[in-house]
Structure 1
């Protein structure tokens, strides 16, 4: 039985949610294909897939929280979960490497795609770009501050200062929300739209996916804050919070590269908006 163990490993009980998640993912991707081809019932299939995925997230991760609270996450299990989180962040790093790779390829090696708009970077079709020392710089300072507040919360967690953890998480969440709002405004006033040339496509894909990661990280921290209020974490067992902090630092570092490469270097020599 799973409840009577004489080892340090966690043997999972049978669960239906991985199967539901797999079918939901299939439904979601099928809905996206239908939507892209403007076919009938696309929104219905897409909506069912999204609903299934959200339900899977809530139920599956709720089970993980329950397992942690009843002591299933032994030191050995926590170590392996740390390895898993490290590998996940490494995969996310490679995801962004792909976007940076395309950015440098377009910028340093003009090909048929870029030559049709002048063979220069930014392309001649881009009259002006965003000023990196305006909203992007403000967002950079916001994320750097959020990195310090989440680190403060982590140190409070290690010292058993639960009130300090709450304050640090609240500040980090608010800073993350502020970053998202400023980025949304930045997109609204940007002097170029998505698509039409390699610069705008690469810009929106790279910064847009980072913005999505900020949103995911903010939700991650909100869950940690809720769990803190429920008294779930202890100085010796708080991997959920630690994983969220790692993820947030990863988001911070990626943004620093985006700011330097996409905003500053990418707009070098162009007129600023």
Structure 2
């Protein structure tokens, strides 16, 4: 039976089946994606199998890690390795979004003005070098850009508020105030879900009433690329915080040992900061 006392040495887990299970899930997901893109009926079945295996792996592997943590098998050295791992993961996400923001900068500051010079005027006389570009060669149809001071502004307020509520939850954990921890996390999860609901509403309005799609030239593609990937990250962050909420209700985490909660909070603050950049450079300017 595992000891409940923290171990003095670095924890080395036993050989595990979960990497093999995850690889199998990735195989079926890749196969299903390839079949689906080639309009083969079996692609949907392969994707379903892949997602089922992936969920089985996530529940099984994460459950094993939670059990090891609650059994006191992780020492301070393990805790430090977790912190470095999460730090590098968030850094990779920063670089991920930096590439997209860099693409947006290149398009707006270099490409669009270049297409409006005298040389390109001979090829596309109707093109006006202004953002967002509305006519050929950039956009085949006119569209309405998404205004900043509507749902995007409301979503900005929601995410900023969620950053406060997750911090309040963290303070409650440090003070060993379980009620403050749980209610702060519940509020954060609710705000994350509300953000996603409003983003779906925004997309629906932009497509139905603004004629803004992925085919709406470079504005449409960059808009949905940046906001869509951010929405995916909000979804992941909300799921992470929901798991932290369930674990908190079960009595997990201690004031001096709760890195899993901290990792989810770090990720959520990262999501908040990225949204501020999106609001300024995609919606506002």
Same fold (TM over 0.5): yes
What do residues 123-178 of structure 1 show as CA deviations (whole Å, max 9, x unaligned)?
12444211101110110010000000000100111111011001100110111111
State the partner residue of 1:244: 264
Shift of 1:7: 4.7
- Match in the other structure for 1:18: 19
Matched, 1:147 2:147: no
Match of 2:96 in 1: 95
Confirm or deny that 1:43 pairs with 2:44.
yes
1:157–1:235 CA contact under 8 A, matched in 2: yes
Cα distance between partner residues in 2 of 1:195 and 1:87: 35
Structure 2 gaps, min length 5: 117-123, 136-141
Aligned to 1:121: 131
The equivalent residue for 1:200 is 220
The count of aligned residue pairs is 263
1:73 CA drift (Å): 1.5
Q: Quote the residue 1:268 is aligned against.
A: none
Q: Which residue of 2 aligns with 1:264?
A: 284
Bigger Rg, structure 1 or 2: 2
Q: Which has the higher contact order (CA 8 A, sep 6+)?
A: 1
Using the TM superposition, give the Cα deviation of residue 198 of structure 1 relative to its aligned residue in structure 2, in angstroms: 1.0
In structure 2, distance between residues paired with 1:53 and 1:114: 46
1:210 equivalent to 2:248? Answer no
C-alpha RMSD of the superposition: 2.0
Deviation of 1:41 (Å): 0.8
For 1:155-234, what aligned pairs fall within 5 Å after superposition? 155-190=171-206, 191=210, 192-234=212-254
Structure 1 residues 114 and 38: CA distance shift in structure 2, 3 A: farther
State the match for 2:121 in structure 1.
none
CA pair 130-68 structure 1, distance change in 2 beyond 3 A: same
Contact kept in structure 2, 1:160 and 1:235, CA below 8 Å = yes
Q: Is the 8 A contact 1:114 1:120 kept in 2?
A: no
For residues 93 and 115 of structure 2, the distance between their equivalents in structure 1, rounded to whole angstroms, comes to 28
Would you say the 8 A contact 2:182–2:245 is kept in 1?
Answer: yes
Q: What is the TM-score normalised by the length of structure 1?
A: 0.91
Residue 26 of structure 1: CA displacement?
A: 2.1
SS in 2 for 1:128: coil
2:57 aligned partner: 56
Between the aligned partners of 1:81 and 1:248, the Cα distance in structure 2 is 17
Q: Residues 67-106 of structure 1 correspond to what in structure 2 (within 5 A)?
A: 67-106=68-107
Q: Structure 2 length normalisation: TM-score?
A: 0.87
Gapped runs of 5+ residues in structure 1? 266-273
> SS where residue 279 of structure 2 aligns?
helix
Label 1:6 to 1:128 Cα distance change in 2 as closer, same or farther (>3 A): closer
